[in-house]
């Protein structure tokens, strides 16, 4: 059964005129509604309004226009059923072979700060989802069925199949587009459910923006499969990578792989940790990550300088690590990196000379991630039988909010190092201790059960790398519960410390800092990272 009749009714009119023109050139009859019909008519196309087709006018301010047997009968009749086709003939119902619909912009509407409850409700599409579900259900068999299109990106593929020997899209394409449609309508309904369940009052005012609770009673997560991975954290675990639609600018999910082997589960997880840390800096930064922890971070005059300083922190751990830059990578930096074994590189751009150097190392995964300031709306963690959901830890304590609590105040240079250390500590697994000096990490202690052990490990790391901690600055992601942790960093050579405060023994720790001649700053905010 060749494609004979198409119904087009879209909110997103990208490419719809050109698509309709191509359909008309292939002898396809066009049905349409409202603004879409007007647009097509203005383009000189012969288009039949749905109201004319059904013989029933739009009513209730357009709320009812496609909810009609001549629409849903044309969509739902099975093409392989003689009884269904006979019923269509008896009731003078034409088959609708192609449905092109995208829905009222509900999510875009509620995103507006002044969106009223009445505006939100009016942008809940009824006829559109009903048609989409009907068409998707009747995508049919290899012999024939309805093609449903929600995305302008699929117009070209549909036309190519119509031009094929069967005069209609293939069964494989129809099934794929039907699947895409159900995911789309599920996400749409999920957004409505999340909005309605987030209303903070039982009877919201119709003409004003209602108060909303940030945590809806119903949580819907929708993401598209980007890649089936070879395995998960370990070879016996299956895994896949899913991305939001759309991906916010600057987030890892928008990466483009320029070369190298396929990314693994651990590659992606570590790359995200490196990229998020790198893009948190305003200066030219390099971050080297191993097993989700920064093992070297530095700000430099150039990407080469930043890389050289970051690498010095822990050359052993940097072997086989993930390296992220927040600036374009040039030839000199590429030459330096190529001297070591690296798993993944991330940067907003690369010079042609840099790419030519990396091309000689075909296994190195080179990712380009666009710059941007988007953040995830929430973070999730799976637990047995449920989900933990929280807002992301994107809080940055303003430096003018730092509180000096010791007799000795940090110098401007020390305050700069403390700010740098505090930013790095946010990306280190708890318990986290970070020694820095002159805009580079000197020693990092991560993921220990006690803070004092993290402090000792950070000191050992610095010693192994041949770096001195004399005169260093130290950040602790949470408070020092006892003075012993402070004594360890002081013994190592630290002269200033930044930490959240909030312990019942703060006075004891502050007294210890005064005793050791250390300047201490409290932030009032912690950065646990589990």
The catalytic residues are 137, 291
DSSP 438: T
| CA dist list (Å): 442 to 271, 285, 360, 390, 465 | 22, 15, 32, 32, 8
**CA–CA gap between residue 79 and residue 198 (Å, rounded):** 43
- Report which secondary-structure segment, H or E, holds 424: helix 412-425
Give the burial string for 499-515 (b: 16+ CB within 10 Å, else e).
bbbeeeebeebbebbee
Phi and psi for 129 in degrees, rounded to 5?
A: -60, -35
Residue 23 in tokens: 């359909």
β-pairing, 379-383 with 386-390? antiparallel
Angle at 355 between CA 351 and CA 358, to 5 degrees: 140
> From the CB of residue 119, how many other CB atoms can be counted at a distance below 10 Å?
16
Token pair 């020390």: residue: 414
β-pairing, 98-102 with 5-10? parallel
Partners of residue 342 on adjacent β-strands: 321
Beta carbons of 350 and 334 less than 8 angstroms apart: yes
Token pair 């004003």: residue: 208
């Amino acid at each position: 059964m060749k494609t004979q009749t198409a119904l087009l009714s879209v909110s997103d009119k990208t490419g719809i005129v050109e698509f309709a023109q191509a359909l008309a050139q292939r002898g396809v009859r066009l049905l349409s509604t409202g603004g879409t019909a007007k647009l097509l008519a203005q383009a000189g196309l012969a288009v039949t309004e749905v109201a004319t087709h059904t013989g029933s006018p739009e009513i209730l301010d357009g709320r009812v226009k496609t909810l009609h047997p001549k629409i849903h009968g044309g969509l739902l009749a099975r093409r392989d059923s003689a009884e269904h086709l006979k019923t269509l003939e008896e009731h003078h119902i034409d088959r609708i072979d192609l449905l092109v619909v995208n829905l009222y912009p509900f999510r875009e509407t509620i995103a507006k700060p002044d969106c009223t409850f009445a505006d939100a409700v009016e942008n809940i599409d009824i006829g559109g989802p009903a048609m989409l579900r009907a068409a998707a259900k009747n995508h049919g068999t290899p012999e024939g069925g309805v093609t449903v299109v929600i995305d302008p990106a699929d117009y070209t593929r549909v036309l190519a199949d119509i031009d094929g020997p069967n005069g209609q899209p293939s069964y494989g394409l129809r099934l794929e587009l039907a699947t895409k449609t159900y995911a789309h309508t599920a996400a749409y309904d999920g957004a409505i459910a999340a909005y309605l369940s987030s209303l903070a009052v039982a009877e919201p005012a119709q003409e004003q923006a209602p108060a909303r609770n940030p945590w809806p009673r119903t949580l819907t997560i929708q993401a598209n499969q980007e890649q089936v991975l070879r395995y998960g954290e370990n070879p016996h675990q299956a895994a896949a990578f899913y991305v939001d639609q759309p991906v916010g600018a600057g987030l890892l999910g928008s990466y483009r792989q320029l070369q190298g082997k396929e990314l693994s589960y651990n590659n992606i997880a570590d790359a995200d940790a490196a990229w998020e840390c790198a893009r948190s800096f305003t200066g030219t930064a390099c971050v080297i990550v191993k097993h989700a922890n920064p093992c070297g971070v530095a700000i430099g005059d150039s990407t080469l300088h930043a890389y050289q300083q970051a690498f010095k922190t822990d050359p052993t751990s940097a072997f086989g690590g993930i390296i992220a830059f927040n600036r374009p990578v040039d030839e000199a930096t590429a030459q330096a990196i190529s001297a070591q074994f690296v798993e993944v590189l991330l940067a907003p751009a690369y010079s042609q000379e840099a790419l030519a150097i990396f091309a000689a190392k075909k296994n190195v995964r080179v990712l380009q991630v666009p710059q941007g300031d988007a953040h995830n709306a929430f973070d999730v963690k799976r637990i047995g039988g449920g989900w933990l959901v929280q807002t992301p830890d994107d809080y940055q304590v303003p430096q003018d909010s730092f509180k000096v609590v010791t007799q000795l105040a940090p110098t401007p240079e020390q305050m700069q190092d403390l700010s740098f250390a505090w930013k790095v500590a946010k990306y280190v697994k708890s318990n986290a201790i970070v020694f820095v000096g002159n805009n580079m990490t000197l020693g990092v202690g991560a993921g220990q059960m006690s803070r004092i052990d993290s402090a000792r490990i950070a000191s050992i790391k610095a010693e192994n790398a041949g770096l001195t901690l004399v005169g260093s600055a130290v950040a602790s992601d949470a408070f020092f519960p006892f003075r012993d942790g402070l004594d360890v960093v002081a013994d190592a050579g630290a002269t200033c410390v930044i930490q959240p405060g909030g312990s019942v023994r703060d006075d004891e720790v502050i007294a210890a800092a005064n005793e050791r001649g250390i300047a201490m700053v409290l932030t009032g905010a912690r950065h646990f990272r589990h």
